[in-house]
Chains A and B, each alone.
Chain A
Amino acid sequence: MGLAKRIIPCLDVRDGRVVKGVSFVGLRDAGDPVEIARRYDSEGADELAFLDITASVEARDLILSVIEAVAAEVFIPLTVGGGVREVADVRRLLNAGADKVSINTTAVLNPRLVSEAASRFGSQCIVVAIDAKANEQGGWEVYTHGGRQATGLDAVLWAQRMQKLGAGEILLTSIDRDGTKSGFNLPLTRAISDAVGIPVIASGGVGNLQHLVEGVTEGHADAVLAASIFHFGEYSVQQAKAYMQQQGIEVRLN
């Protein structure tokens, strides 16, 4: 027995509200981030991830009050990403109560942000999010801007470089699989996880509980992230953990 594999529900937040039809039974307000976070916490989520997809500049600070409100009530690690452009953004999110901040597009545009943020706040709170897509050479390419912009960067080399610059964790999303419910891209996940010495969170494509298991056993992921299977009430975090344990994966059940 030892370190448990983590299950991380992800909440997409726009203008301070959780989006993507949440259909929890018994919630007064399906879009209230605090209520949803509390629900996942009580089901045994090991961490929570918040992806801020707010488009308008005026509404950007709303995520800070969301994190403040969640952090005052939910005592598990909170990772926040989306629109992190400079060290000041990282600081604001950490001060609001985030434990880790994930950097995506800006890591590509300005890799120094990763090293600066890591040396300023510690690697433990810097997550680099990598969105990757299969290329014709049988490898994977890094994309930015929500998966719209190709970069020409090899995802495995990029992950290694991010580790060198001080990333404490990699949040890896397969663009090919995201939203398909056909399971993680296991070769991609395994290639990255085996190539770096820091933890890797697998994301993109979860449609059932067996997919979570495969992310760990075949993808070698240290943590698995899912949004829709939890949001739509198909499975609870508790069910996911019970299933993973049945399949021989160590999870936190207390």
Chain B
Amino acid sequence: MASGVDIAVVDYGMGNLRSVSKALEHVAPLAQVVVTSDPEMIHAAKRVVFPGVGAMGDCMRELADRGLVHAVKQAAATKPFLGICLGMQMLFEHSEEGDVAGLGILPGRVRRFFGDMGQEAEGLKVPHMGWNEVHQQRAHPLWAGIDDFARFYFVHSYYVEPADAEMVSASCAYPFPFACAVAKNNLFAVQFHPEKSQHAGLVLLGNFVRWEGHSSQQSVA
């Protein structure tokens, strides 16, 4: 472990991870940040960031083809771990997007916005794109210095529905509330893009790179 990099950003060939790594380098200038698809490097890293864009089925397939499933599961169980966007959705059991299985690390499923109502339900557009308010449900070290209802940048058409309400760390409304951050032990995952959320996003990433992985969750209320 001691010889591992500080932060491994899991690369499974889906999309551009440059903005994630640049933002991490910005908040942790002295840390070694590596974008990697090497399971050994992920295994040895002190912290792991699991980003993702695109379609869930493609992401799961790429992850499997690169032999990364075990490394990601192992990291999610043992060290400070941050899932972002599709990297949050993949942690769950199942997604409506392509009717595919996720990694099943967390109980729950991924659903499409207005899936039951047709795309123009409520006159709201899909993808849910732009800056929305993040309502912190529980205290967590990663929210340190971030105002409740601070806005973060979202772009997604699917959202997670965790089976266990206890793990919901923050919610967002579009127009109904959905889980936009989940936390469990050493694992934290967000639907929004902290790497694109200006100040609030950088604060969250800064908190992550200093976090030791203890959730110490308490209810805000």
In the complex the two chains form, what is the Cα distance from A4 to B149 in whole Å?
A: 12
Give the chain B neighbours of A97 by CB distance below 8 A. 16, 18-19, 22
In the complex formed, the residue of A with least CB distance to B53 is A122
Check if A72 is an interface residue, CB within 8 A of chain B: yes
The reply to whether B53 and A124 contact each other, CB–CB distance below 8 Å, is yes
The reply to whether A124 and B129 contact each other, CB–CB distance below 8 Å, is yes
Complex partner residue of B129 from A71, A96, A98, A168, CB under 8 angstroms: A168
The reply to whether A76 and B119 contact each other, CB–CB distance below 8 Å, is no
The reply to whether A198 and B22 contact each other, CB–CB distance below 8 Å, is no
Give the chain B neighbours of A252 by CB distance below 8 A. 131, 151
Known contacts A2-B174, A252-B151; A124 and B131 CB within 8 A of each other: no
Check if A147 is an interface residue, CB within 8 A of chain B: no
The reply to whether A95 and B153 contact each other, CB–CB distance below 8 Å, is no
The reply to whether A3 and B174 contact each other, CB–CB distance below 8 Å, is yes
In the complex the two chains form, what is the Cα distance from A86 to B201 in whole Å?
A: 32
Complex partner residue of A197 from B15, B125, B195, CB under 8 angstroms: B125
The reply to whether A75 and B129 contact each other, CB–CB distance below 8 Å, is no
Majority-rule SS of B interface residues: mixed
The reply to whether A254 and B147 contact each other, CB–CB distance below 8 Å, is yes
In the complex the two chains form, what is the Cα distance from A77 to B153 in whole Å?
A: 8
Check if B198 is an interface residue, CB within 8 A of chain A: yes
In the complex formed, the residue of A with least CB distance to B150 is A254
Check if B115 is an interface residue, CB within 8 A of chain A: no
Chain B residues with a Cβ closer than 8 Å to the other chain, count: 43
The reply to whether A3 and B132 contact each other, CB–CB distance below 8 Å, is yes
Check if A214 is an interface residue, CB within 8 A of chain B: no
Check if B197 is an interface residue, CB within 8 A of chain A: yes
User: Least Cβ distance of B193 to chain A in Å?
Assistant: 8
Give the chain B neighbours of A14 by CB distance below 8 A. none
User: Least Cβ distance of B59 to chain A in Å?
Assistant: 10
Give the chain B neighbours of A72 by CB distance below 8 A. 22, 26
Check if B107 is an interface residue, CB within 8 A of chain A: no
In the complex the two chains form, what is the Cα distance from A222 to B147 in whole Å?
A: 25
Complex partner residue of B15 from A5, A6, A121, CB under 8 angstroms: A121
Give the chain A neighbours of B173 by CB distance below 8 A. 1-2
Check if A178 is an interface residue, CB within 8 A of chain B: no
Give the chain B neighbours of A52 by CB distance below 8 A. none
In the complex the two chains form, what is the Cα distance from A193 to B180 in whole Å?
A: 27
In the complex the two chains form, what is the Cα distance from A1 to B150 in whole Å?
A: 12
Instruction: Please encode chain A, from 118 to 145, with 1 for each CB lying within 8 Å of some chain B CB and 0 for all others.
Output: 0001111100000000000000000000
Which of chain A's residues 176-222 have a Cβ closer than 8 Å to chain B?
196-200, 222
Chain A residues with CB under 8 Å of chain B are: 1-6, 41, 46, 71-73, 75-77, 94-99, 121-125, 168-169, 196-200, 222-223, 252, 254
- Please name 19 pairs of A and B residues whose Cβ atoms are closer than 8 Å in the assembled complex, sorted by A: A4-B151, A41-B198, A71-B22, A75-B19, A75-B197, A75-B198, A77-B155, A94-B15, A99-B16, A121-B53, A122-B55, A123-B157, A124-B53, A124-B155, A168-B127, A197-B120, A199-B129, A252-B131, A254-B151
